[in-house]
Amino acid sequence: MCGISGIIKSHGSVTSSDLARAAHAMRHRGPDAESYWISEDATLWFGHVRLSIVDPDPRSTQPFSIDDGNYVMVFNGEIYNYQKLRALLEEYHNVSFITKSDTEVLLQMYKYFGKKLLDHIEGMFAFVIYDKRESSVFVARDFAGQKPLVYIEHETWLFFASEIPGLFALCPDFAKVVNTEAIKLYMIGNFFHLPHHISFFQWVKKLENAGYLIIKNGKIVEKWRYTELVPSQIRDPKDEIQFLDAI
């Protein structure tokens, strides 16, 4: 378990203390390391707290970059088939790896396959990738939604984090206002089910399981669910249990 956080914006000022607050709020997710990355134009800020499991060497510390900084990523989770994917990248794309981590494999997969990497990776994950060549940010979450990702989109700013406390630490000016509609939906679901994309706080959204975003200039330009196997809406909690049993 790790914690990721960040700010994506088209303008405005941010200080490193904003990321530090988010990291401290999620320190329980990653006690082994705390690191940050800021883009050259200061429009992207990534933070990461690490629990070292796969390749605990410091060279695997995130935010992780390849190709002279053209691709930068923060990642929480585990890619189960990373060794197989690593072998394929070495054989067919002559990739030379500098770590033994699934982090590097995941980022190399994005470099060669773009969003199509989601057709190949198996695991539990939430990750955010900066693509300098495309001037875009790619965000994705695993099929089952095991790894969380929450975000606030406001004008030309987007804040994201693994947890709501980390998110509010990034943007303390946003009032912690309860989302009454979410409470109603939760009660309708017999205190069991809340739609995948909303939270109990106004402003705060959850990236849906099997979902991805493409962001440019601080705005979401593409939002999609990458598999048709997951129903877009599950109205009855019993339906969700039956669906989970089926898979």
Residue 171 annotated among the catalytic residues of the structure? no
Which phi and psi (to 5°) does residue 55 adopt?
Answer: 50, 75
Rounded Cα–Cα distance for residues 56 and 29 (Å): 15
**15 exposed, middle or buried (CB, 10 Å; 0-12, 13-18, 19+)?**
exposed
Distance between start and end Cα atoms, the chain: 24
Q: Give which of 199, 205, 191, 198 is closest to 237, Cα–Cα.
A: 191
Q: Give which of 209, 202, 159, 156 is closest to 182, Cα–Cα.
A: 202
Which phi and psi (to 5°) does residue 50 adopt?
Answer: -115, 135
Which one from 1, 2, 40, 100 is the annotated catalytic residue? 2
- Give the residue numbers marked as catalytic: 2
